[in-house]
Amino acid sequence: DGGITQSPKYLFRKEGQNVTLSCEQNLNHDAMYWYRQDPGQGLRLIYYSQIVNDFQKGDIAEGYSVSREKKESFPLTVTSAQKNPTAFYLCASSIHRGNQPQHFGDGTRLSIL
Amino acid sequence: GENVEQHPSTLSVQEGDSAVIKCTYSDSASNYFPWYKQELGKRPQLIIDIRSNVGEKKDQRIAVTLNKTAKHFSLHITETQPEDSAVYFCALSVRDSNYQLIWGAGTKLIIKP
């Protein structure tokens, strides 16, 4: 959706390095989400946030961290503790928590150098 | 926790024929059921959704049916066209998971010319 911007489109991580993926939305949505998608697989929830300054772990939060200091922004940091970070990362937002359509950004493809 | 089973994992149909993808679930409290289409390397896009107070919803060539008693919902695509080739994901919203979306594993739909 034009209202959700993810950057960069491609990212390379060196061993031991932390990298941050950006997600910005101008839809005035309360809830935001981060998913990981491995090749040929479905979506797995990493973290989600229902409101500013609050976020919860999803199914695969280990090795990742997030912040939600502004309603429009929900950056994801892939830490060096995530030993297999190569994947397609998707950010999404919805009007409010649950029971609502989620709108996705174009994704960031992360690879290890 | 809740699990969504999606079948088949791959579906190949002749152009012009119909395609049906089915998802089954176990939590009777589920009340929101979206379907997403994801083309290769792109973001998932919502194509249709249904809530538990209706049994069927149509949008041109696409329809979704919901059987709450049997706990399954299906995506129907009629008069398939080459541009329908993609991976389709079902999802549902579960109260016990704070109304987050639980995703199916996806169905790769191939339209044969």
Q: What is the DSSP letter of B100?
A: P
CA angle A32, B91, A28 (to 5 degrees): 25
Beta pairing partners, A80: none
- pLDDT at position A87: 96
pLDDT in tens, A6-63: 999 999 988 889 999 999 999 999 999 999 999 888 999 999 999 999 999 999 999 9
Q: Which residues of B touch A36 (CB under 8 A)?
A: none
Q: What is the pLDDT, as a whole number, of residue A100?
A: 87
**In the prediction, which pLDDT does A30 show?**
94
Tell me chain A's radius of gyration from C-alpha atoms. 13
- If you measure CA to CA, which chain B residue comes closest to A32? B100
**Interface membership of A102 toward B (CB under 8 Å):** yes
Is B7 near chain A, with CB under 8 Å? no
Least confidently predicted of A56-65, A73-82, A97-106? A97-106
Find the mean pLDDT for residues A97-109: 90
Contacts of residue B90, defined as CB under 8 A and 6 or more positions apart, other chains included, come to B4, B6, B21, B23, B33, B34, B35, B73, B75, B103, B104
Predicted pLDDT of residue B96: 67
User: Mind listing the pLDDT tens digit of every residue in chain B (113 residues)?
Assistant: 778 999 999 999 999 999 999 999 998 888 899 999 999 999 999 999 999 888 999 999 999 999 999 999 999 999 999 999 999 999 998 776 677 889 999 999 999 99
Any chain A CB within 8 A of the CB of B27?
no
The Cα–Cα gap between B98 and B112 comes to: 41
For range A65-82, the mean pLDDT: 96
Tell me whether B46 touches chain A (CB under 8 Å): yes
- Verify cis geometry, omega within 30 degrees of 0, for the bond prior to B44: no
- B43 touching A, CB under 8 A? yes
Candidates A33, A42, A103; nearest CB to B105: A42
Quote the pLDDT of residue A2. 56
Residue contact B89–A107, C-beta within 8 A: no
Cβ atoms within 10 Å, residue B28 = 11
The predicted structure's pLDDT at residue A111 = 93
Residue A99 binned pLDDT confidence (cut-offs 50, 70, 90): confident
- Of A41, A42, A98, nearest to B100 by CB-CB distance is A98
